[in-house]
């Protein structure tokens, strides 16, 4: 099995570089010195800026972590000026050839490229007759940038942090072997002219290798170098151009669970509150909804092969089609600086463990929001993932975001290869759901599935006193019912609370109680009596009070049809212990009054 630099080794190297290298030209000059040395190693000659211009610019940009002349965010703060976007070789090279004159290089090169840079031995690479020459003095200048053996070793580790080595390689042999794949012997010898390196040179123990290829992102760096400590000079880059969600949206979901289920009695506003949280916290295009139902399957949720035909074509082929889970997952990994949410309504109306299948293991998340245990991607799914990412390869923003976030030294092709091998939920993918355990025909959730979620209980009366979109409160809305031929104004919320009190006395489970939105806000009008009979009376007769109807209603033997007729005549008196005076408009009930006082205090 191949070995890689361990997290500790990489972070030890990063610490040295982060602490001792000043921002500006130092890192930039070193970065491009490696790029140019790599070019010489690969092609066996110096670079002619006339004939090799396009090749060199493309090659140097790739080796240096640049694409299309733009500085990626992950090296912002370590570089000099950005290379120009045009392909005038003198202007492109002028910003990174100098060893200490980046600030004046653009002006000097513009005036006379063949004479730049001037001064005695103040350069790493020189332009002579439009030929870029690497002078031996470039290796002597390493001491100006990496003044110690420790710094040279640290830089080599940092550059080669994802290289694989033989199992029996020593620390020094592994570094030299890795560098030798890309760079010339002169550069390698210059790095360690004081002798072969050892783990002590970067302040770590002998355990410098790991069997796991490291994935280092800003969260990982933040854990090793938290703000306020001596090594915290490196800050997270400005991602304004990559983030599609506004900073306000990102702030609203910060700290919220990645796996979250809202649950409570019917009519408590679970879907409403969760949808509001989603709308407030995510860009509209980053929200995907799905509703579970008894026959819903893994194939529909994650993906499967389906017959497919192009428009206006009679030929049918089979292709792997992504389900809502895989679609959200692909968008999340391809846009790591953006947040995505998969919203599942009625998660327990299907068998959730069966619908999630093997991806249910991904729900185990670490404190950063990443899956603790990845799962292997099936072959057919791997092809779908590869096709999706291939279509994004030419999108510079997507490519730079991926390469900058997951690992600054891992290119897009490496990322695609890893993504096709295994699935691992990223921290920017949220899975939120609603659940009502009181409904008939719902599937039970096993303990293993439940413990991977955060549950948020919605109190039975929580929404009654909160203003709605029109400014009204459920606790204040009056409706009309007819009692003995006379219209009376009652408050739906008072009646609801009284009915819940009856159910509590009958020891009916709370998840069967009536929430304030059991009757939708829009139905609290002149149609209230009809809606009450259709929704509340039917629910109480056929579900909640089916076995306790004689103790819930005044007429112990009445059928549902008879109860509807009685309600038209007697109103709320059809319930045992409830009188019209208990629910008429006027002073709020004790529960509503107490909630209002709490809101005022808050």
**486-531: per-residue pLDDT in tens?**
888 999 999 999 999 999 998 888 888 999 999 988 889 888 999 9
Indicate whether 231 pLDDT > 50: no
**Distance of CA 70 to CAs 64, 76, 85, 92, 171, Å?**
11, 10, 8, 11, 34
pLDDT in the model for residue 251: 57
pLDDT in the model for residue 205: 77
> Which of the two residues, 591 and 344, has the higher pLDDT score?
344
Residue 68: phi and psi, rounded to 5, are 55, 30
- The gap between the terminal CA atoms of the chain, to the nearest Å, is 60
- What is the DSSP secondary structure assignment for residue 535, as one 8-state letter? I
> Following DSSP, what letter does each residue of 131-165 receive, concatenated?
EEEE-THHHHTHHHHS-SHHHHHHHHHHHTTT--B
Please state, in angstroms and rounded to a whole number, the distance separating the CA atoms of residues 18 and 449. 42
Q: What is the 3-state secondary structure of 360-399?
A: HHHHCECCCCCECCCEECCHHHHHHHHHHHHCCCCCHHHH
State the average pLDDT over residues 155-184: 79
Indicate whether 17 pLDDT > 60: yes
The dihedral through the CA atoms of 223, 229, 234, 239 has a sign that is: positive
Please state, in angstroms and rounded to a whole number, the distance separating the CA atoms of residues 15 and 349. 51
Please state, in angstroms and rounded to a whole number, the distance separating the CA atoms of residues 82 and 97. 12
pTM: 0.58
pLDDT-based confidence at residue 127 (cuts at 50, 70, 90): very low
- The count of C-alpha atoms lying within 13 angstroms of the C-alpha of 534, restricted to the half-sphere facing its C-beta, is 8
**60-119: per-residue pLDDT in tens?**
555 544 444 443 333 333 233 333 333 333 333 333 333 333 333 333 333 443 333 333
Question: What are the structure tokens assigned to 383, written together?
Answer: 């092809």
Contact 478, 491 (CB under 8 A): yes
pLDDT in the model for residue 472: 83
Q: What is the 3-state secondary structure of 456-490?
A: EECCCCCCCCCCCCCCCCHHHCEEEEEECCEEEEE
Beta strands in 417-556 (DSSP E): 422-423, 429-435, 454-457, 478-483, 486-491
**Distance of CA 247 to CAs 338, 341, 343, 579, Å?**
10, 17, 22, 53
Above pLDDT 90, what percent of the chain?
Answer: 23
> Which of the two residues, 439 and 467, has the higher pLDDT score?
467
Find the DSSP H helices in 100-140.
Answer: 102-111, 137-140
Task: Return the domain boundaries, the chain.
Answer: 4-210, 247-457, 474-601
Poorest-pLDDT segment among 99-108, 367-376, 404-413, 454-463: 99-108
The dihedral through the CA atoms of 486, 490, 492, 495 has a sign that is: negative
Indicate whether 481 pLDDT > 70: yes
Architecture of domain 247-457: 3-Layer(aba) Sandwich (3.40)
pLDDT in the model for residue 113: 38
pLDDT in the model for residue 296: 93
Poorest-pLDDT segment among 104-118, 195-209, 375-389, 582-596: 104-118
Indicate whether 26 pLDDT > 60: no
Asked if residue 117 has a cis previous peptide bond (ω within 30° of 0), the answer is yes
pLDDT in the model for residue 19: 66
pLDDT in the model for residue 289: 94
Please state, in angstroms and rounded to a whole number, the distance separating the CA atoms of residues 143 and 150. 12
- SS3 assignment, position 288: strand
pLDDT in the model for residue 238: 31
**443-469: per-residue pLDDT in tens?**
778 888 889 999 988 888 888 888 777
> Which of the two residues, 127 and 222, has the higher pLDDT score?
222
pLDDT in the model for residue 172: 86
């Amino acid at each position: 099995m191949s070995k890689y630099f361990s997290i500790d080794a990489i972070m030890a190297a990063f610490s040295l570089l982060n602490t001792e290298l000043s921002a500006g030209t130092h890192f930039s000059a070193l970065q491009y010195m490696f790029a140019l040395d790599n070019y010489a190693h690969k092609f066996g000659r110096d670079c002619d800026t006339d004939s090799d211009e396009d090749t060199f610019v493309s090659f140097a940009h790739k080796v240096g972590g640049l694409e299309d002349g733009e500085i990626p965010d992950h090296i912002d703060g370590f570089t000099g000026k950005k290379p120009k976007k045009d392909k005038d070789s003198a202007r492109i090279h002028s910003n990174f050839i100098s060893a200490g004159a980046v600030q004046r290089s653009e002006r000097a090169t513009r005036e006379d490229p063949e004479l730049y840079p001037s001064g005695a031995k103040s350069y790493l690479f020189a332009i002579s007759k439009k030929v870029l020459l690497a002078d031996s003095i470039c290796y002597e200048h390493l001491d100006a940038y990496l003044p110690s053996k420790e710094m040279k070793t640290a830089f080599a580790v940092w550059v080669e942090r994802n290289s694989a080595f033989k199992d029996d390689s020593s620390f020094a042999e592994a570094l030299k072997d890795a560098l030798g794949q890309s760079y010339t012997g002169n550069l390698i010898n210059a790095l360690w002219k004081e002798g072969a390196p050892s783990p002590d040179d970067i302040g770590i123990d002998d355990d410098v290798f790991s069997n796991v290829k490291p994935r280092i992102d800003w969260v990982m760096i933040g854990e090793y170098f938290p703000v306020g400590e001596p090594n915290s000079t490196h800050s997270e880059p400005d991602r304004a151009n990559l983030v599609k969600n506004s900073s306000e949206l990102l702030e609203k979901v910060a700290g919220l669970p990645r796996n979250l289920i809202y649950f409570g009695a019917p009519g408590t506003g679970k879907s409403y509150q969760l949808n509001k949280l989603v709308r407030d916290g995510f860009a509209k295009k980053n929200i995907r909804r799905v509703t579970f139902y008894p026959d819903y399957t893994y194939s529909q949720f994650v993906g499967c092969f389906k017959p497919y035909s192009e428009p206006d074509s009679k030929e049918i082929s089979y292709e792997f089609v992504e389900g809502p889970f895989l679609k959200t997952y692909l968008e999340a990994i391809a846009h790591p600086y953006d947040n995505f949410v998969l919203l599942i309504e009625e998660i327990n109306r299907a068998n959730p463990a069966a619908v999630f299948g093997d991806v249910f293991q991904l729900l185990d998340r670490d404190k950063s929001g990443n899956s603790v245990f990845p799962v292997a991607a099936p072959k057919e799914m791997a092809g779908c993932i590869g096709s999706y990412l291939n279509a994004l390869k030419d999108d510079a923003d997507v490519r730079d975001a991926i390469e900058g976030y997951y690992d600054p030294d891992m290119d897009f092709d490496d990322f695609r290869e890893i993504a096709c091998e295994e699935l691992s939920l990223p921290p920017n993918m949220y899975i939120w759901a609603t659940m009502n355990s009181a409904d008939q025909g719902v599937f039970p959730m096993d303990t293993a599935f439940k413990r991977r979620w955060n549950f948020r209980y919605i109190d039975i009366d929580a929404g009654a006193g909160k203003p709605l979109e029109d400014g009204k409160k459920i606790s204040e809305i009056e409706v009309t019912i007819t009692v003995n031929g006379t219209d009376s104004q009652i408050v739906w919320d008072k009646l609801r609370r009284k009915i819940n009190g009856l159910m509590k006395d009958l020891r009916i489970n709370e998840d069967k109680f009536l929430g304030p939105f059991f009757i939708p806000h829009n139905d609290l009008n002149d149609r209230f009596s009809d809606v009450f009979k259709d929704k509340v009376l039917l629910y109480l007769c056929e579900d909640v009070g089916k076995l306790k109807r004689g103790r819930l209603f005044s007429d112990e033997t009445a059928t549902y049809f008879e109860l509807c007729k009685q309600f038209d005549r007697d109103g709320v008196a059809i319930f045992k212990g409830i009188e019209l005076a208990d629910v008429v408009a006027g002073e709020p009930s004790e529960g509503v009054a107490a909630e209002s006082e709490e809101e005022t205090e808050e």
